Amino acid sequence: MKTFEWQLAHGKRLVLGPSSVLMGILNVTPDSFSDGGEYIDPEKAVAHAREMIAQGAAIIDVGGESTRPGATEVTPEEEQRRVLPVIETLAAEGNCIISVDTYRAETARKAVAAGAHIVNDVHGLQREPDIAHIAAETGAGLVIMHTGRGREDEKRPDVIEDQFVFLRRSLEIAHEAGVKDSQIVLDPGFGFAKDREEDLSLMARTGELHALGYPLLIGTSRKRMIGHLAGDDRLARDVGTSATSVILRLQGAHVFRVHNIPFNRDALAFADAVLARQLSRPAQK
């Protein structure tokens, strides 16, 4: 597996490849699909972040607006009111890499100034392209996610072809703004305007995305496709999520954005051990 050094804001770097990297989800929202309202209070949010860090999360992804289908958009001011105090506190403690989950350029700018190292854009720079300029100016890590939302009429019927079309357009935006390849991680966007069959096809073929030449971040945690196959309660979805993490790690994915750190940490330890054995095995003559 290829090793990458991910360049982040504030002089940080993160090695991707040798071991799975866990990104803990911290929704500072009242209406997220799985844990809405649980961490809207900043003190509870920070406490949960500390818990995930102790469990093995290297990155905490702080989001102030739900991205579930049909969720009501919040104002930029409200989004910033939710996320900035949490980012500032975590940055002062210095125990983790901090990501901000936003598609708004101004929120991204203020979040990086508050101490965030990564901007995670679920619209892949195609809603507010100025995020690319902020990443270029600050050196922030940039997660570019594929989505089908708002472009249903132009989606390609083949899931991987659609990934390439969308992500190449996003990469052009990033490069034109001056973002370095070392800052970029790609996310195939499971569940974002994709039905269950599309998600499963994408999961079976995620390895094909390595042709683009960037590390991959995976966000399947507790999503609808897992509920369909594993069961709808939270425990079943966490078990199902850990299974998808293993499947995708064995296809070469690097970062796993999850709600339940221990389940995925333990499952991915086995995947990492298998990959290490495969890499150390001598070639057959």
Res 232: pLDDT: 77
For residues 27 and 36, the answer to whether their CB atoms sit within 8 Å is yes
Residue 285 counted as domain residue: no
- Choice among 109, 223, 237, 249 that is catalytic: 223
Distance CA 107, CA 102 (A): 7
Task: Give the chain's residues under pLDDT 50.
Answer: none
- Annotated active-site residue 155? The verdict is no
Res 66: pLDDT: 82
Residue 84 counted as domain residue: yes
- Annotated active-site residue 110? The verdict is no
Give, rounded to a whole angstrom, the gap between the first and last alpha carbons of the chain: 21
- Choice among 109, 110, 224, 257 that is catalytic: 257
Res 80: pLDDT: 96
Classified as helix, coil or strand, 152 is: helix
Res 36: pLDDT: 52
Res 146: pLDDT: 97
Residue 259 counted as domain residue: yes
Residue 102 counted as domain residue: yes
Residue 178 counted as domain residue: yes
Provide the domain count of the chain.
Answer: 1
Residue 18 counted as domain residue: yes
Q: Considering the entire predicted model, what is its pTM?
A: 0.93
Range of the domain at 217: 4-280
Residue 161 counted as domain residue: yes
Res 284: pLDDT: 54
Residue 37 counted as domain residue: yes
User: In this structure, what CATH number is given to the domain that contains residue 246?
Assistant: 3.20.20.20
For residues 264 and 258, the answer to whether their CB atoms sit within 8 Å is yes
Res 34: pLDDT: 54
